[in-house]
Structure 1
């Protein structure tokens, strides 16, 4: 397929890549904490688990602010047209992006609710804390924890699909969909 001349704005690219770094870092730290660290072994392990969760929240809460900026930017700045795709592929791309945005909102908001229900502070980049979303509710914690985990893993699957389709565009379709979001690529 012929190369199309299209590109996202510098701001859209910066928000995209900043969110990718923040979300994937927060997910890796959250998964590490959940899979490899436990409370109740000894004081050192408890402190390591607590510090790791605090780091996870400090990074993950940044995504709340970034997604708000990204949604505002997306609403006020039209992205480049999806060209060279069938109508079905265009609909699938739009649906995938809507799901990605929805999950980028839900995962940190449910994490915020989880910390609130557990009675823990919610730090933002170690600079300040945001108020609880819910009152302390220990009975809700296991349910909210499960929802947070399921949504986070669903987000990971959608991200893998997003990357996979970008690579498909580059290697199979031979169009510039992938390059349109890379830094340095001009319109």
Structure 2
């Protein structure tokens, strides 16, 4: 059972599975939008972007699950150092979580207000009404894309900081999330 739970030395299997599943899905989302921006209309674009809304819905569910799991493991997790760098890491993680929740949530609000209906993976969430509700469309129209690319930049920074910890500081940060799950 201890392999599943976080410890002060490493993240457990549940946390790792949520982290890497979300990393893969976010990579797919960003790759799809990059292909759309670079290639334009193309069968590859249609394939990748066609999954954007259902995957975004799944990401919202996963970030809520991950947040709940993280709170349940709060006292068990590896702590951030009590330094300026540690406080920066905590703030960066909080911003990542906030954006990972806000971006798909505001897109879901837009879907609700579109009047087109929404059924990701064939599961009806909103029935088609044929009526647009502008106040529900506006927040996503203003912020979804720009904040998504901001999230992408923060994720790149997150990966670069992990590389810095691994290659320069050699403090085992990467092993906490990616290393073996054996007990120490």
Q: Tell whether the 8 Å contact from 1:61 to 1:123 is kept in structure 2 after alignment.
A: no
Instruction: Give the number of aligned pairs.
Output: 171
Query: Which residue does 2:28 correspond to in 1?
Result: 25
Q: 1:18 to 1:183 in 2, by over 3 A?
A: farther
RMSD: 2.7
Q: Tell whether the 8 Å contact from 1:37 to 1:49 is kept in structure 2 after alignment.
A: yes
Q: 1:23 to 1:120 in 2, by over 3 A?
A: farther
Deviation for aligned residue 1:69: 0.8
Query: Which residue does 1:130 correspond to in 2?
Result: 125
Distance 1:32 1:143 in 2: 24
Q: Which has the higher contact order (CA 8 A, sep 6+)?
A: 1
Query: Which residue does 1:15 correspond to in 2?
Result: 18
TM-score with structure 1 setting the length? 0.78
Q: Structure 2: 5+ residue runs without aligned partners?
A: 1-7
Structure 1 segment 4-83 matched on structure 2, within 5 A: 6-33=9-36, 36-37=39-40, 53-78=49-74, 79-82=77-80
After superposing on structure 2, the runs of 4+ consecutive aligned residues of structure 1 that deviate more than 4 Å are 47-53, 138-143
Q: 1:33 to 1:149 in 2, by over 3 A?
A: same
